[in-house]
Structure 1
Amino acid sequence: MKSDQPRFATGHEQVIVVEERRNPSTDFFVRPHVTGVSGHDAELVPLEFPPGMPPAPGTWLVFTRYVTEAWRRWVARHHDRIAGVSFFMDDDLFDPAAWAGLPWRYRWKLYRLAMRHRVWLERIGAELLVSTPYLAEKYSSWSPTVLPPVSPYPEGAGFDPDAACVFYHGSASHLAEHRWLCSVVDAVLEQVPAATFEVIGDRRVARAYAGLPRVSVVSPMGWEAYRAFVTRPGRAVGVAPLLPSRFNAARSPTKLLDITAAGAVGVYANDPVYRDSVADGVNGRLCPMEPEAWVEAIVFLLEQPDARRAVWEAARS
C-alpha cells in the first residue's frame, strides 16, 4: 500500500534536498512537492559534500536518487536533530535484474549510490518516494508515496506552424531506442523534404544515425542548460519510443512535459508509462512500436499544422 502524503508534509521548519547535481528528478518531482506540501522551498545541498555545520532541529532530509557513505555518517552524527529521512527514485534503482542492457558504468553507479544503501534506508525508517504507480506496487512493502511530475518550465516555446524539426532527447540509457528509431527517421526525412531531425547523444548515438541526411547530433548537457535549450522555438514533433524492458517499465511520463514546453507535439510509445497521461489524438499520439505507425503519425503532424496546434494546445492545458 502507498501513503497518500509524504511525511515531510507534517510542518517541518526545514527540508534539505540532497542531489548529485542540479537535475530533472529534483525539479520534476521533489522540489515542487516540498514547496507545495510543506509550504516553503527546500534547501538544495550537493551529494558530494555534506554540510560542515549541524542542521537545525527538526530538519527533514530528502535524498534524490542517491546516497553516499559520507551522508550516512552525517545522518548518524546529527540524528538527534533530524526529524526524518526520505529517499526518492524515478527509476528502478534497487533491482539489478532491471538494469540489463544499461551501460556497465551506469549499473555500477546505481549499485554504488543507490542499491547498496537500501538496507540502511530501511533500517533508519526512511520514507520511500517514487515517481510511478509501477514502482509503488513493486515496493509496496515499503508503503511508498507516489509524487506526480510537475512541469519545471515556467515558460516554454510558443507554437510555430512552420516548424519542421523532429527531435528525440533520450539519454544514453536509451541506446536501443535510438537504434530502433533510425528507420523511422530515415523514412520521415525522405517523405518530408523540409524535415530535420535533432537528437542528443554521444558518439554511439551519432553512429546510430550515421549516413542519414539533415540530422543534428547535440552533445549531452547539464540539466539547467537543457531547460534553456528545449524551450528554444522551432521544434514541431518530439518522439518518445520505449522498448519493453524491466527498467523502462518504471519510467515516468516526463517526456510529455519536455515536448510540450518545446512547442511541439509528442508521439509516444503505446505503453503503460504513457497511457495514463496521453490520450491518443487529444494531447499527443500513442503508437505501437511498429515503425510504419510512427512514420505515419510524424508525417501527418508535420504536414498538418492546424491539427498539430490543436493537440499541442490540449497538451499545454
Structure 2
Amino acid sequence: MQILRNIIYGLLPRPRLSATSVGGAPSAAKRLLVLSRYPNPSVSYYLDERTKALANIPVIMKGLDEGLEDLDSEGLFVIICRYIKEPQLRWLEDRRRSLAGVAYFVDDDIPAVVAGDEATWPYKFTLFNLAVRPLPRVNRLLTHLWTSTETLADTLSDAHQKIAILAPMPATLEGRSSEIAGEASTSLKMVYHGTGVHRREHEFLMPIVKTAMDKHSNLHFEVFAEGSLARQWGRQEIEQRRMTISPPLPWASYLARTTDHGADIALAPLLIGKTNDSRSDTKRIDISRMGAAAIFSRCPTFSRCAVAGELHIGNTAEEWLMAIDQLVGDRDRRLIARNATVKSIEKMRQSTTAAFPGIRFDVLGDIA
C-alpha cells in the first residue's frame, strides 16, 4: 500500500512558476487581491499582518465563492492562498495580461496529505478539488511562488524554480499568560487541538493522556476530534466528567473560543513523516493565545523559534508522562513555559519581514 501511496504522491501536480515568468521583471502593483477559503488559519498566520502593513495599498479579500467582476484588473497583484475555484480562475486567465502578477502561497505538502493515510476522505476530496486539480492552469499564471518553510520549498523546487519563504507572522498577543498563571486553582485544563490530519499524533497521545488522567485527579482534558477519532478517544475509559471531546470548529469560531477560554497545559506532539516535515511552528500561536504551558516534540519544526524555558521532549510515552507530571505539579514551571512561548512568538515576528517577497508596489516602492 505504501508503494501505491508513493506512486500517487509522485504523480500529483505541484505548484510551478510559468515559463514566461522566469527571469521576467515584475510589474508594479497598485492593488492587492487575496483569494482564499476565508477565513482560515493560513490567512491569519501568514497574510493578515502583512496586509495590515500595506497602509497605502488597497487590499481586497475575497472568499472562493465571491465574484470578481466588479474588480479592476489593471495593476492588480493576486495572491492565491492554497485554494481556488473555477470562476475565479477563469477570471484570472481572461485578464492575465493586465495583472501585475499572481502569487501562489502554500503552507502544506498537499500531495503528501492527499496520498497519505491520515486525512479523511472528505478532506482529501476538498484538497484535490480546490488545491490539486486547478494547479496545471494556475501554474500558467504564476509569477511568484511562496511556501511557509525551507523544507517545503526544497520539496517543491527544481532547477527552474525560484521559491520564496513566507514565514509565519503572528499578531502581537495580549498578556493572557501571566494572568492565568497567577490564578490559584486546584483544577487544571489540559488540551490537544490537533486536527484529524494528525491522526498519528492523536493515537500517540491516547494512552499517555489516559495514564496522566488516572494519576492526576485535578486534570480536565479537552480534545477536538470527530468520527472514528472521537470514538477512539471515547474508548480510553477516562471519566466522562473530566474529558471534553468537541468536534472541530470553523476557524473563526476556533479563534473566538481559544481567545475567550484559556488552558493550563497544551500538548503539541509532532511525529516524523513527509507531511509533518514540511510544517511550520504556527501551533505556538494558538498555544500563546490560550495562555497555556506547552509540551513540544523535539523536532526541527518546533526548534525554529525555540527559546529557553520551553519544554521540548522526545516522542516516547515516558518523556511525555514525565513532562505532564512536571507541569501539573509545579505551578512555577507552568509559568516559565507559558512566558517562554510568548517570547517565542516575538522571536517569530522578529525572524521574518512584513514584506511580500518580490512584489513592487506603485506607492511604497520595492519592499522585497
| TM-score over 0.5 (shorter chain) | yes
2:35 matched residue in structure 1 = 18
Specify which of 243, 257, 271 is matched with residue 243 of structure 1: 271
Paired residues of 2:28 and 2:100 also in contact (CA < 8 A): no
Q: Which runs of 4+ in 1 moved over 4 A?
A: 37-41, 94-98
Specify which of 200, 213, 218 is matched with residue 194 of structure 1: 218
- How far residue 79 of structure 1 moved from its aligned partner, in angstroms, is 2.2
- In the aligned structure 2, how far is the partner of 1:96 from the partner of 1:166? 28
What percent identity do the matched residue pairs reach? 25
1:170 matched residue in structure 2 = 194
2:355 matched residue in structure 1 = none
User: In the TM superposition, what are the counterparts of 1:91-110 in structure 2 within 5 Å?
Assistant: 91-94=108-111, 99-110=116-127
1:148 matched residue in structure 2 = 167
- How far residue 11 of structure 1 moved from its aligned partner, in angstroms, is 5.8
Q: Does the residue aligned with 1:244 lie in a helix, a strand or coil?
A: coil
- How far residue 271 of structure 1 moved from its aligned partner, in angstroms, is 1.7
Q: Does the residue aligned with 1:18 lie in a helix, a strand or coil?
A: strand
- How far residue 234 of structure 1 moved from its aligned partner, in angstroms, is 4.3
User: Superposition RMSD on alpha carbons, in Å?
Assistant: 2.4
Q: Does the residue aligned with 2:97 lie in a helix, a strand or coil?
A: coil
2:76 matched residue in structure 1 = 59
Structure 2 letter corresponding to 1:300:
Q
Q: 1:82 to 1:99 in 2, by over 3 A?
A: farther
2:150 matched residue in structure 1 = 133
- How far residue 34 of structure 1 moved from its aligned partner, in angstroms, is 3.3
Q: Does the residue aligned with 1:135 lie in a helix, a strand or coil?
A: helix
Q: 1:117 to 1:94 in 2, by over 3 A?
A: farther
Paired residues of 2:269 and 2:296 also in contact (CA < 8 A): yes
2:311 matched residue in structure 1 = 285
- In the aligned structure 1, how far is the partner of 2:142 from the partner of 2:333? 51
- How far residue 154 of structure 1 moved from its aligned partner, in angstroms, is 4.2
Deviates more, 1:177-186 or 1:36-45: 36-45
Structure 1 letter corresponding to 2:209:
V
Specify which of 72, 78, 83 is matched with residue 100 of structure 2: 83
- In the aligned structure 1, how far is the partner of 2:172 from the partner of 2:27? 27
- How far residue 156 of structure 1 moved from its aligned partner, in angstroms, is 5.9
1:157 pairs with 2:146: no
Deviates more, 1:58-67 or 1:101-110: 101-110
1:47 matched residue in structure 2 = 64
- In the aligned structure 2, how far is the partner of 1:302 from the partner of 1:269? 18
- How far residue 204 of structure 1 moved from its aligned partner, in angstroms, is 2.3
Structure 1 letter corresponding to 2:292:
A
Measured against aligned partners, the alpha-carbon deviations of 1:61-83 in whole angstroms (never above 9, x if no partner) come to 11111122222210022223311
2:208 matched residue in structure 1 = 184
1:309 matched residue in structure 2 = 335
Number of corresponding residues: 308
Q: 1:190 to 1:87 in 2, by over 3 A?
A: same
- In the aligned structure 2, how far is the partner of 1:95 from the partner of 1:312? 33
Specify which of 269, 280, 283 is matched with residue 297 of structure 2: 269
Paired residues of 1:11 and 1:38 also in contact (CA < 8 A): no
- In the aligned structure 1, how far is the partner of 2:101 from the partner of 2:28? 12
- In the aligned structure 2, how far is the partner of 1:234 from the partner of 1:106? 28
2:365 matched residue in structure 1 = none
For structure 1, the 5+ residue unaligned runs are 1-6
Structure label with greater radius of gyration: 2
Measured against aligned partners, the alpha-carbon deviations of 1:251-272 in whole angstroms (never above 9, x if no partner) come to 1111111111111111111122
Q: Does the residue aligned with 1:197 lie in a helix, a strand or coil?
A: strand
- How far residue 91 of structure 1 moved from its aligned partner, in angstroms, is 0.6
1:68 pairs with 2:92: no
1:257 matched residue in structure 2 = 285
- In the aligned structure 2, how far is the partner of 1:147 from the partner of 1:10? 20
- How far residue 274 of structure 1 moved from its aligned partner, in angstroms, is 1.1
For structure 2, the 5+ residue unaligned runs are 1-23, 344-368
Q: Does the residue aligned with 1:151 lie in a helix, a strand or coil?
A: coil
TM-score by length of 2: 0.77
TM-score by length of 1: 0.89
Q: Does the residue aligned with 1:30 lie in a helix, a strand or coil?
A: helix
2:256 matched residue in structure 1 = 228
- In the aligned structure 2, how far is the partner of 1:33 from the partner of 1:189? 42
Deviates more, 1:37-46 or 1:240-249: 37-46
- How far residue 102 of structure 1 moved from its aligned partner, in angstroms, is 2.2
- In the aligned structure 2, how far is the partner of 1:186 from the partner of 1:96? 28
Deviates more, 1:270-279 or 1:35-44: 35-44
- In the aligned structure 2, how far is the partner of 1:48 from the partner of 1:126? 24
Paired residues of 2:89 and 2:138 also in contact (CA < 8 A): no
- In the aligned structure 1, how far is the partner of 2:313 from the partner of 2:334? 16
Measured against aligned partners, the alpha-carbon deviations of 1:199-222 in whole angstroms (never above 9, x if no partner) come to 112132321221212111122211
Q: 1:223 to 1:238 in 2, by over 3 A?
A: same
